[in-house]
């Protein structure tokens, strides 16, 4: 029996960006045969007998939920779409879960999108993306512009088409870290990272997301159960019966979730896929949980410095009471030595076995560190052999630091979350993969990063103190990247809006500070010298946060071996870690060769920010004059009586204060009248 699925608003398939290998022989030719309902005798996983033959459907009214009530099924209780109020009912099907990562088309609120990074969201190819996408974030609703939509080739394959329906959208600029967008993980229940086991997803509790009946009605969430799948070639489909939830016209593209209990005991939304098609019996979803889909999404996301977050259930837990060798079965919970699976580390059950020895090469798909009630009980994973970490990466739920002194090799592009406690690694071989790092604490890589892959920081703080030879790009999406060591000449660096570059080391590749990005030599608020071996570019709206001491004898310097480009509109912010004397402002000052022989032209000398006793304060615009003279910065106070008023303002503490780390670019100067 064939399964006739109906997509919404079907269109001719646009060119696929990269078809790649499906993992099965035959490639695109096999997919064409599948679209005609003909299967070759190839190894594949399928419970949908006869394949998928998919035809068009007319638009209907929206997602229908059997037994629907507003309290149980509406995401918002009022105000959608302009000022939505979250449904706070304890009866809500998605109660206690973070739905902020699901947005809607600004011009067509019935059209939904699920985000898998601050830059990327899921799209149904046949329905398309949207010019602007709106999210309900912690600061209210905000809309973000779409840059492009790319087809992965995987997902539901409709009749007459040769590639799947799963596409990935990209924003022109990412959702800022301050918006607290959740980082949804793709649920990985496969028994290995190379062989798909979609049967593990059958009988899974599913939360389907879809539209309301019109653009002013709340989107809906309905609970159902996965019952079938088709994973073969480019076909990647998960299905539910149309009994509890019925997808209808306009629901395509909205995300499909499972409620996942993470190793720390918390509940999260984990992505299964997105809505694609229907027939009389089934809802069909573009399924993300195959190795091919995960790899394809990573390929697209890596271009923008993002890695897919992949989550799964821990197959083993470290006990470490009788042995600290990672290859000893006695050091793990029942089941033997783990290989290519997710594992958990729990200090409360590890006894004195928190020093883990990598005495043989080991391959783990992902590592979770559970929080413990006591402090100073982080793990130290050391030894002379190599630990390969797969697509699940590392998540630290504990407030203590987790340390990896053993050599680490990346088995796939991956996402690390150091949490509040942070992670320390000694040597990482990227192995051609991207490592994206996040966390509210400080993460460190103390020796070296090598290989052809890249490094990205999304939030928190990352310190690179060694000699790094990785040749991939370096992205600073958010937080503070501190380079006290060095990076390779082939590693291009970009600092984005809201992010900062610090340190007293050497940047080997061409570096660009984008609008809203900040560069400050040394540690924040301290004097230092930062070296750029090749080119350094400050784009309009970027910031140089420049520190001087109170005596004006030492100050930040930047050495640029190549071309220094300062676009008009760049901002020069001046700070000091200790208080200035009032008399400091009554004298002339000149700071020479801040960029060596490079001139300072381009910085906006009308926008300066000073730090007094560790707090940011604004200098009155009439209190004195800043100017650039070639390679020098000059301060010239205006004549009396303005200087007396400036001294009075300093003494009275009337200058507006800001936190030292904020470095805002928008300021309202305090003006002093003569």
25 within a domain of the structure (yes/no) = yes
672 within a domain of the structure (yes/no) = yes
Is the pLDDT at 400 greater than 90, yes or no?
Answer: yes
Banded model confidence at residue 557, pLDDT cuts 50, 70, 90: very high
Which burial class, exposed, middle or buried, applies to 58 when counting CB atoms under 10 A from its CB (0-12, 13-18, 19+)?
Answer: exposed
The model's pTM: 0.88
User: What's the pLDDT at 571?
Assistant: 85
Last residue of a domain, which of 263, 283, 302? 302
Within a 10 A sphere around the Cβ of 258, how many other Cβ atoms?
19
Is the pLDDT at 112 greater than 70, yes or no?
Answer: yes
Whether residue 543 contacts residue 665, with contact meaning beta carbons closer than 8 Å, is answered with: yes
User: What's the pLDDT at 669?
Assistant: 31
Is the pLDDT at 554 greater than 80, yes or no?
Answer: yes
Whether residue 566 contacts residue 601, with contact meaning beta carbons closer than 8 Å, is answered with: yes
Banded model confidence at residue 46, pLDDT cuts 50, 70, 90: low
User: What's the pLDDT at 252?
Assistant: 95
Whether residue 440 contacts residue 414, with contact meaning beta carbons closer than 8 Å, is answered with: no
Whether residue 187 contacts residue 312, with contact meaning beta carbons closer than 8 Å, is answered with: yes
- Diameter of the chain by CA atoms? 93
579 within a domain of the structure (yes/no) = yes
User: What's the pLDDT at 352?
Assistant: 73
Stretch 564-591: mean pLDDT, rounded?
76
Is the pLDDT at 135 greater than 70, yes or no?
Answer: yes
What lies within 8 Å, CB to CB, of 314 at 6+ separation is 263, 341, 342, 343, 344, 368
Indicate the SS3 state at residue 198: helix
Determine what percent of the chain is predicted with pLDDT higher than 70. 80
User: What's the pLDDT at 607?
Assistant: 60
User: What's the pLDDT at 574?
Assistant: 75
397 within a domain of the structure (yes/no) = no
Banded model confidence at residue 207, pLDDT cuts 50, 70, 90: very high
Least confident of 54-63, 125-134, 237-246, 594-603: 54-63
Banded model confidence at residue 605, pLDDT cuts 50, 70, 90: low
Least confident of 34-38, 101-105, 157-161: 34-38
31 within a domain of the structure (yes/no) = yes
Given the DSSP bridges, would you call strands 624-629 and 380-382 parallel, antiparallel or unpaired? unpaired
What lies within 8 Å, CB to CB, of 329 at 6+ separation is 336, 337
441 within a domain of the structure (yes/no) = no
**b/e map of 263-297 (b: 16 or more CB within 10 Å)?**
bbeeebbbbbbbbbbbbeebbbbbbbbbbbbbbbb
Whether residue 157 contacts residue 164, with contact meaning beta carbons closer than 8 Å, is answered with: yes
What digits encode the pLDDT tens for the residues 617-659?
444 444 566 778 899 988 887 765 444 444 443 433 333 333 3
Banded model confidence at residue 444, pLDDT cuts 50, 70, 90: very high
Stretch 84-96: mean pLDDT, rounded?
97
Select from 199, 226, 236 the least CA-distant residue to 34.
Answer: 236
- Bridge partners, 467 (sequence order): 486
509 within a domain of the structure (yes/no) = yes
Banded model confidence at residue 609, pLDDT cuts 50, 70, 90: low
Q: How does the average pLDDT of the chain come out, rounded?
A: 85
| CA 166 – CA 179 distance, rounded (Å) | 27
Is the pLDDT at 195 greater than 50, yes or no?
Answer: yes
Is the pLDDT at 602 greater than 60, yes or no?
Answer: yes
Whether residue 256 contacts residue 273, with contact meaning beta carbons closer than 8 Å, is answered with: yes
Indicate the SS3 state at residue 646: helix
Whether residue 528 contacts residue 545, with contact meaning beta carbons closer than 8 Å, is answered with: no
User: What's the pLDDT at 20?
Assistant: 33
List the Cα angle 145/148/150 in 5-degree steps. 145
345 within a domain of the structure (yes/no) = no
What digits encode the pLDDT tens for the residues 162-193?
899 999 999 999 999 889 999 999 999 999 99
Residue numbers of the domain that contains 42 = 3-302
Alpha-carbon torsion (616, 621, 625, 629), positive or negative: positive
Report the run of H or E that residue 417 belongs to, with start and end.
strand 414-417
Last residue of a domain, which of 302, 326, 351? 302
- Bridge partners, 327 (sequence order): none
Query: What percent of the chain is helix, strand and coil (3-state, nearest 5)?
Result: 10, 40, 50
Report which of residues 532 and 583 the model is more confident about: 532
Stretch 492-516: mean pLDDT, rounded?
97
- The tally of domains found in the chain comes to 2
Q: What is the CATH number of the domain that holds 236?
A: 2.40.10.10
Banded model confidence at residue 401, pLDDT cuts 50, 70, 90: very high
What lies within 8 Å, CB to CB, of 334 at 6+ separation is none
Phi-psi region at 295: left, alpha or beta (left = phi > 0; alpha = psi -120 to 50): alpha
Per DSSP, the residues of 431-490 read TT--EEEE-SSEEEEEEEEESS--EEE-SSEEEE-SB----S-EEE-SEEEEESSB--TT
Is the pLDDT at 8 greater than 70, yes or no?
Answer: no
Rg (CA), the chain: 28
Determine what percent of the chain is predicted with pLDDT higher than 90. 69
Report the run of H or E that residue 34 belongs to, with start and end.
helix 27-35
User: What's the pLDDT at 657?
Assistant: 33
| CA 240 – CA 277 distance, rounded (Å) | 11
Select from 588, 610, 602 the least CA-distant residue to 631.
Answer: 602
Select from 494, 340, 307 the least CA-distant residue to 416.
Answer: 307
User: What's the pLDDT at 560?
Assistant: 97
Whether residue 228 contacts residue 236, with contact meaning beta carbons closer than 8 Å, is answered with: no
User: What's the pLDDT at 648?
Assistant: 40
Whether residue 365 contacts residue 193, with contact meaning beta carbons closer than 8 Å, is answered with: yes
Least confident of 83-92, 219-228, 621-630, 632-641: 621-630
Report which of residues 37 and 484 the model is more confident about: 484
Chain Cα centroid distance, residue 657:
31
- Bridge partners, 442 (sequence order): 461
Banded model confidence at residue 322, pLDDT cuts 50, 70, 90: confident
Last residue of a domain, which of 267, 302, 337? 302
User: What's the pLDDT at 581?
Assistant: 60
Alpha-carbon torsion (661, 667, 668, 674), positive or negative: positive
Cα 42 to Cα 24, 25, 153, 156, 288, distances in angstroms: 7, 7, 19, 19, 21
User: What's the pLDDT at 610?
Assistant: 56
């Amino acid at each position: 029996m064939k399964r006739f699925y109906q997509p919404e608003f079907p269109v001719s398939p646009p060119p696929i960006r990269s078809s790649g290998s499906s993992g099965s022989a035959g490639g695109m030719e096999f997919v064409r045969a599948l679209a005609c309902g003909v299967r070759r005798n190839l190894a594949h996983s399928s419970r949908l007998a006869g394949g998928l033959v998919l035809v068009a459907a007319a638009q209907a009214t929206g997602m229908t939920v059997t037994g629907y009530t507003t309290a149980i099924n509406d995401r918002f209780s009022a105000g959608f779409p302009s000022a939505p109020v979250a449904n706070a009912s304890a009866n809500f099907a998605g109660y206690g879960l973070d739905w902020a990562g699901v947005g809607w088309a600004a011009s067509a609120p019935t059209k939904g999108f699920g985000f898998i990074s601050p830059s990327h969201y899921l799209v149904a190819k046949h329905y398309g993306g949207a010019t602007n996408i709106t999210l309900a974030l912690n600061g209210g609703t905000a809309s973000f512009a779409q840059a492009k939509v790319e087809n992965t080739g995987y997902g539901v394959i409709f009749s007459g088409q040769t590639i799947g329906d799963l596409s990935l959208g990209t924003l022109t600029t990412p959702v800022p870290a301050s918006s607290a967008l959740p980082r949804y993980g793709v649920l990985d229940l496969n028994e290995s990272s190379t062989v798909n086991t979609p049967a593990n997803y059958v009988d899974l509790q599913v939360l389907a997301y879809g539209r309301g009946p019109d653009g002013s009605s709340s989107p809906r969430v309905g609970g159902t159960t996965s019952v079938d799948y088709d994973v073969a070639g480019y076909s990647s489909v998960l299905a539910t019966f149309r009994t509890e939830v019925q997808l209808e016209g306009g629901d395509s593209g909205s995300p499909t979730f499972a409620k996942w209990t993470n190793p720390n005991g918390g509940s999260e939304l984990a992505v299964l896929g997105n809505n694609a098609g229907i027939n009389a019996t089934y809802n069909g979803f573009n399924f993300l949980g195959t190795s091919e889909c995960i790899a394809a999404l990573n390929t697209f996301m890596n271009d923008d410095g993002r890695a897919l977050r992949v989550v799964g259930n821990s197959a083993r837990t470290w006990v470490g009471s009788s042995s600290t060798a990672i290859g000893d079965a006695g050091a793990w919970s029942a089941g033997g030595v783990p290989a290519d699976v997710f594992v958990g580390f729990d200090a409360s059950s590890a006894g004195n076995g928190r020093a883990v020895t990598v005495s043989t090469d080991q391959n783990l798909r992902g590592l979770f560190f559970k929080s413990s009630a006591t402090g100073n009980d982080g793990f130290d994973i050391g030894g002379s052999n190599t630990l390969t970490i797969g697509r699940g990466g590392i998540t630290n739920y504990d407030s203590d630091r987790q340390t990896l002194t053993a050599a680490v090799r990346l088995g796939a592009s991956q996402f690390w979350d150091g949490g509040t406690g942070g992670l320390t690694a000694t040597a990482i071989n990227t192995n051609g993969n991207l490592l994206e790092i996040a966390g509210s604490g400080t993460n460190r890589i103390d020796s070296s990063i090598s290989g052809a892959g890249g490094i990205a920081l999304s939030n928190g703080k990352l310190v690179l103190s060694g000699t790094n030879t990785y040749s991939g790009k370096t992205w600073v999406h958010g937080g503070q990247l501190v380079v006290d060591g060095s990076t390779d000449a082939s590693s291009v660096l970009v600092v984005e809006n809201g992010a900062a570059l610090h340190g007293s080391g050497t940047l080997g590749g061409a570096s660009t500070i984008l609008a809203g990005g900040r560069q400050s030599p040394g540690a924040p608020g301290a004097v230092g010298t930062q070296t750029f071996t090749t080119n350094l570019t400050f784009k309009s709206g970027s910031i140089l946060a420049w520190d001087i001491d109170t005596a004006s004898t030492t100050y930040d310097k930047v050495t640029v071996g190549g071309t220094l480009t300062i676009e008009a509109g760049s901002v020069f912010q001046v700070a000091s870690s200790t208080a200035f004397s009032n008399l400091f402002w009554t004298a002339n000052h000149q700071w020479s060769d801040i960029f060596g022989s490079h001139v300072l032209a381009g910085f906006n000398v009308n926008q300066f920010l000073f730090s007094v006793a560790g707090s940011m304060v604004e200098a009155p615009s009439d209190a004195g004059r800043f100017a650039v003279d070639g390679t020098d910065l000059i301060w010239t106070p205006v004549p009396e009586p303005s200087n007396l008023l400036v001294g009075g303002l300093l003494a009275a503490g009337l200058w507006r204060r800001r936190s030292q780390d904020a470095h805002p670019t928008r300021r309202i100067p305090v003006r002093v009248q003569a």
